[in-house]
Amino acid sequence: MSDLPITSVPPMARPRDEAAPKRPLLPLRVSGLRLTADGTALLDGVELTLAPGGCTVIMGPNGAGKSLLLKMMHGLLVPGAGDVSWNGIPAAQATARQALVFQKPVLLRRSVAANVDFVLKSRGRDRSRRDALLREVGLLHKARQPARLLSGGEAQRLALARALATDPEVLFLDEATASLDPASVLVIERIVAAARDCGTRIVFVTHDVGQARRMADEVVFLHRGRVAEHSPADVFFPEPRSQAARDYLAGRIVL
Amino acid sequence: MQSIGEAFHLALSLVLSGEADLYEIVGLSLRVSLSATVLACGIGLPIGALIAVSRFRGRGLVLIVMNALMGLPPVVVGLLVYLYLSRSGPLGFLGLLYTPGAMIFAQTILIVPIVAALSRQLLEDLHAEYAEQFRSLCLTRWQSVATLLWDGRYALLTVGLAGFGRAVAEVGAVIIVGGNIDHLTRVMTTAIALETSKGDLPLALALGIILLVLALGVNAGVQALRMTAARQAHV
């Protein structure tokens, strides 16, 4: 067998895309990311590399650009300058291999089960997985209920089930537990941790320092649209290097 | 005032009498206007949804034209449809002129812009809520359109109602393309116009009252459906 490049193989002899091993999505390289609005730099030259595996928590004061960065990494926002590179995979393909859970869950005006069915169907996945997903997030008993009657915590769990239904290689969570009660927060954290243990790369934006301590393998601290610090969690929390991060962890106002 | 009281009395006795002619007119009115509404929804809703999710050069102009077409004069529509359906017209071979089919055709044209423009506004608001989720899920434009139409279905009933209201109340188009032929194309509005021209005002008013009650009934039915949906939190 000669070592011919793949392009020289006749098309009919090539394995089908879905049968072929996928190129890994990670590492992610973010370089020189900028976004300005009305002359104000919202993101100002963000440089970041995310390696495969684990949970990265993005922290920072309000207006630091956390959600913007998350949405740019996921491909929902186009940067003014700079580049988001998912291991050389085209942006649209990369987005399809990720999922994002928003701070405010956007639920379809359908039943709980139909919300999950919708995602499974749109991704061509087997709908028989729906009950397992709902069981995983503790909503199987509410499968027939209208989704918009769920409580805040339940709605977020459903959003999480929908995200997991896409089998994401990277799961983004944008302050997904903000405004939830402590019990709901822990349930969400347990589900996310289980996904991480199964190999899903987690990128979690949160203001909750306690949650960040529980979840993070590494922390990216944003300040004024820049990465002020990017460290392993066991380094960041005991000894933050930047003054802004020290002030933030101490509960002082960070300007 | 005397004629209004008389009209109410006459309307009631007409309904109670079970007169076949009256029920034929009422039935045809409902058949023509409901058919036109269904057809217009089938055409107008996807157009409204597609425009709601699309951004393209000249979109503003399209919206202006679409909104302007909501005020299409029925007589102008009737005249255009007449020209198309008349024997020498491009659609004359269909032989639809002076049939309920022609009336449905004219009313459909009349209310498609209403359905499209109103649904566009409504679905654009819904899309603003769903847009990021759709993009995150990498939905195609047509998947987005289908999802918006399904999720907005109860709210869109109101759009259908607006279209039905316009259709059932118009007289200009149906009288031109239908001809107000007894037992064939006579509907409530054309019958009212005829009785008014004959000077039989109580009968015209009585028919008007029945028409109003019909419109109220359809509205009440749709409203009840919407309230049921709201109770199930689908709205």
Mutation to test the A interface, candidates B55, B122, B130, B133, most A Cβ within 10 Å: B133
| C-beta of residue A72 within 8 angstroms of C-beta of residue A123 | no
Closest CA of chain A from B220, distance in Å = 23
Nearest CB neighbour to A96, from listed B138, B151, B154: B138
Task: Kindly tell me if the per-residue pLDDT of B101 is higher than 80.
Answer: yes
Q: Could you tell me the CA-to-CA distances from A134 to A35, A113, A165, A189, B147 in Å, in that order?
A: 38, 8, 10, 16, 22
d(CA A135, CA A142): 10
Residues A38-59 pLDDT 10s? 889 999 999 999 999 999 999 9
d(CA B85, CA B93): 8
Residues A147-179 pLDDT 10s? 999 999 999 999 999 999 999 999 999 999 998
Task: Kindly tell me if the per-residue pLDDT of A9 is higher than 70.
Answer: no
Identity at B221, one-letter amino acid code: G
Q: Is residue B3 domain-resident? A: no
The average pLDDT across B119-127 equals 97
- Residue A147: list chain B partners with CB under 8 A: 233
Nearest CB neighbour to A76, from listed B129, B136, B147: B136
Q: Is B132 within 8 Å of A123 when comparing Cβ atoms?
A: no
Task: Kindly tell me if the per-residue pLDDT of A7 is higher than 90.
Answer: no
- Annotate B18-67 with DSSP letters as a single string: T-HHHHHHHHHHHHHHHHHHHHHHHHHHHHHHHHHH---TTHHHHHHHHH
Q: Is residue B175 domain-resident? A: yes
Residue B103: give its domain's CATH number.
1.10.3720.10
Nearest CA in chain B to A111: B234
Count Cβ neighbours within 10 Å for each residue of A43-82 and write b for 16 or more, e otherwise.
bbebebebeeebbbbbbbbeebbbbbbbbbbbbbbebeeb
- Residue B130: list chain A partners with CB under 8 A: 106, 108
- Residue B135: list chain A partners with CB under 8 A: 75-76, 95
- Residue B133: list chain A partners with CB under 8 A: 102, 106
**If DSSP states are collapsed to H, E and C, what string results for A106-137?**
CCCCCEHHHHHHHHHHHCCCCHHHHHHHHHHC
Residue B219 has, within 13 A of its CA and on its CB side, a CA count of 11
Q: Is residue B124 domain-resident? A: yes
Enter the ipTM: 0.85
Q: Is residue B16 domain-resident? A: no
* Rounded (5°) CA angle B126-B128-B134: 90
pTM: 0.84
Q: Is B138 within 8 Å of A92 when comparing Cβ atoms?
A: yes
Count Cβ neighbours within 10 Å for each residue of A162-198 and write b for 16 or more, e otherwise.
bbbbbebbbbbbbbbbbebeeebbebbbebbeebbee
Can you read off the two tokens belonging to residue A193?
């941790």
Nearest CA in chain B to A171: B136
Domain range for B77: 22-231
Q: Which residues pair with A173 in a beta bridge?
A: A101, A204
- For tokens 């188009």, the residue is B173
Closest CA of chain B from A226, distance in Å = 24
- Decide which of A5 and A133 is more confident: A133
Q: Is residue B152 domain-resident? A: yes
Q: Is residue B2 domain-resident? A: no
Output the average pLDDT for chain A: 89
Number of domains, chain B: 1
- Residue B129: list chain A partners with CB under 8 A: 106
Nearest CB neighbour to A109, from listed B132, B139, B234: B234
Q: Of B186, B55, B64, B47, whose CA–CA distance to B111 is shortest? A: B47
Closest CA of chain A from B48, distance in Å = 19
What domains are defined for chain A? 25-249 (3.40.50.300)
Q: Is residue B39 domain-resident? A: yes
| C-beta of residue A216 within 8 angstroms of C-beta of residue A233 | yes
d(CA A229, CA A236): 8
Q: Is residue B148 domain-resident? A: yes
| C-beta of residue A189 within 8 angstroms of C-beta of residue A214 | yes
